[in-house]
Structure 1
Amino acid sequence: MNERVEIILSGSGGQGMILAGIILADAAIREGKSVVQSQSYGPEARGGASRAEVIIGGEELDYPKISNPDILLAMSQQASDKFLHRVKKGGLVILDSSYVADFPRPDGVRLYSIPISDTARDGLGKEMMANMVALGALIQVSGVIGRDNVQKAVEERVPSGSLEKNILALELGRKLAKNSDIL
């Protein structure tokens, strides 16, 4: 892949979008790709806006900012409202239908509305696992990074006591996305 891929992972503080962005960037590095990862928090520790940006390319990346993302993962209504209109034609959008109910359907964008947080809460007993469910869904529908490298990055980045649940969450997200239809 020599093409630049711009990804925004956004939600509310406490949803784990920063960790998901770090894991995605780590996995891309494991695949030998050039990567830039940045993050932004709202003024509140929990509940405020939170965003990770990941840019992946096969060659050296000369500009570290995202203007029109290729991929958007929005875990909150606020994130959807703020970034959905910026996704470029031909891009991919994944919305957490647990929290994002009102959204336009942009032309020329593949859009998935998936109950990510509900799945984490109901399937794993912990909504805080939604970031890994979301990451699993993202890698399934985008193909931007291979599953094995994401799993290796998760193994390096999460506490050993929760590793098994995190890997299960990734797989749950992959299956959820695989069985979801584009809107």
Structure 2
Amino acid sequence: MMEERVEIRLSGSGGQGLILAGIILAEAAILDGKNAVQSQSYGPEARGGASRAEVVISNDEIDYPKVTKPQVILALTNEALNKFKDNLAPDGIIIIDSSVKKADTPYKIVQLPIIETARDRIGRSMVANIVAVGVITALTKVVSREAVERAILKRVPKGTEELNKKALYAGYELVNQLT
């Protein structure tokens, strides 16, 4: 899927770790020798309010750092899906959690149990963001597995490295089960 420029929008609610997920994807791109820009915005009430992280990854120089027509949208809440589902590149993909009600949209939607996997398989719902990073990496190949793993190990709190690696691999497995 790696075009010259790939735009990714991660959306959900505050506290889901989407800002960290965006930072990890951007850092992985840089580790892969690409250019990346990451930006974020929070709703008025950070935890529980709307949250959005955006990443632009490019093989070339990034002349405009904002996401305008993302190729990938991750929506972990109904609110996030409804807000962003109509602003996608024509060949784009929307990744939603299984708790999110599918919306009527002409775009390809991939629905996976991201939050449930983090909670039930890994035992910590707080790593849903890392499960999501695994899903995005496996579906799009926008960054290499090696780079994303290195970025995660660099960014997660000390002592949680194994937990987060498990979450990343669980995200890959969710995508492998699709095929």
* TM-score above 0.5: yes
8 Å contact kept, 2:86–2:105: no
8 Å contact kept, 1:141–1:178: no
Partner in structure 1 of residue 76 of structure 2: 75
Counterpart Cα distance in 1 of 2:112 and 2:170: 12
8 Å contact kept, 2:85–2:105: no
Counterpart Cα distance in 2 of 1:2 and 1:168: 29
Pair 63,95 (structure 1): closer, same or farther in 2 beyond 3 Å: same
5+ residue gaps, structure 1: none
1:128, distance to aligned residue in structure 2 (A):
0.7
Aligned mate of 2:147, from 121, 144, 149 = 149
User: After TM superposition, where is structure 1 displaced by more than 4 Å over at least 4 residues in a row?
Assistant: none
1:110, distance to aligned residue in structure 2 (A):
3.0
Partner in structure 1 of residue 104 of structure 2: 104
Q: Deviations over 1:35-73 (max 9, x none)?
A: 111010111121101111000111101111111111101
The aligned amino acid for 1:153 is A
Q: For 1:8, what is the secondary structure of its paired residue?
A: strand
Partner in structure 2 of residue 180 of structure 1: 178
Counterpart Cα distance in 2 of 1:67 and 1:144: 18
5+ residue gaps, structure 2: none
Partner in structure 2 of residue 133 of structure 1: 131
8 Å contact kept, 1:11–1:78: yes
8 Å contact kept, 1:31–1:149: yes
The aligned amino acid for 1:74 is A
Q: For 2:40, what is the secondary structure of its paired residue?
A: strand
Q: For 2:45, what is the secondary structure of its paired residue?
A: coil
Partner in structure 1 of residue 41 of structure 2: 40
